[in-house]
Structure 1
């Protein structure tokens, strides 16, 4: 019985010690989405807290393919437009990594996530991610001011009112004329 208890305590101590050597990662909320105008700079962040320091971080982008599936690929750090900081520790003990994407292009749109990895980490982890949408701004066909628009609407309203009044007046005049003609025909018919 003593041997069984001794073996149980040894295995329990080994299990506790094994868990103590592991890193525990807690993910912080990511910004769900970010809209950036074409040719502007995008700043994407992923934050986490770890029980024993920083972990290795790699940025990935999930791109939507033609058939509706997504393809995961690493962000090319050799691209001159891409800058990745190695992480900043905040006062609350949270580690944040920033991906800076200069001169954003339309094909840069996608879900950006950090991949967290360390040999003492039980399972590698992807952060929640931020969906980056790069958009082309609308071009105004007529660049007119608000007061000009109001003047145009007022003029349209006045023209519509004049058209309705003219049409109504013309219909009343025609009705009056036809009534007078009917009275004239009835009156002539009585004298005949």
Structure 2
């Protein structure tokens, strides 16, 4: 009885060893332009010569998960979507090729091995390049750049010239104002009064501040006395 049990245990261990699968890291993200070719891979190491697998997909608008869910569905193969298998140096890789890829191919792809083991998976993003709204030639682009340069130069020169003219005008107004104030100083003055005052000052300086009393008798007939 013990011998039979040992044989069964050994057979079970050998069977497990034969079906052991070691998953290799997958490419986590792949971005490809629409209408271009794209290839996904899921690699693994196994002791078996061939291992059955199929590809499963979760759509781009669904929550990604490494396990089966109601949002996961098998990839439909066609002439455009091709499944393959590559073996190299003891490592096997399942491939899924899109020739070409379309926008609705975006999603999360995984390999299902023996309907129990699922690979890490790769997210495929398909994008459509933006089209030019305005198709301009090189000469037109150069003309636009030249016009932008001229406008930029005008934006610098025009305000500067306006400021210079304004500063010059302010300086002229200040000069006119100073000249006008200087002229207002002499307005209202009587020139005759000025000359009479000047004569008095000159005469007082010529005769002195006081009168000589000793010569009064000799000069009283000729001139009139001036009081100090």
TM bin, normalised by shorter chain, reads 0.7 to 0.9
Deviation at 1:17, TM superposition (A): 3.5
Aligned length: 176
Deviations 1:8-33 (CA, angstroms, capped at 9, x unpaired): x9767644542221211111222222
1:81 aligns with 80
**What do the CA deviations read for 1:98-123 (whole angstroms, capped 9, x no partner)?**
112233221210111110017xxxxx
Alignment deviations for residues 66-89 of structure 1 (CA, whole Å, 9 cap, x no partner): xx5352110012x4422112x222
Structure with max Cα Rg: 2
Higher relative contact order, chain-length normalized (CA < 8 Å, sep 6+)? 1
Greater than 3 Å deviation, 4+ residue runs = 9-17, 142-155
- Is 2:60–2:106's contact at 8 Å kept on the other side of the alignment? no
Partner of 1:107: 104
> Which among 26, 34, 39 is matched to residue 38 of structure 1?
34
* Residue 50 (structure 2) aligns with: 54
TM-score w.r.t. the length of structure 2 is: 0.66
Q: Aligned equivalents of 2:118 and 2:25: distance in 1? A: 12
Secondary structure at 1:58 match in 2: strand
Q: Distance in 1 between matches of 2:149 and 2:173?
A: 36
Q: Closer, same or farther in 2 for the Cα pair 1:113/1:147, shift >3 Å? A: farther
Aligned to 1:3: none
Q: In the alignment, does 2:63 pair up with 1:69?
A: yes
Q: 179, 191, 212: which is aligned to 1:187?
A: 179
Shift of 1:186: 2.2
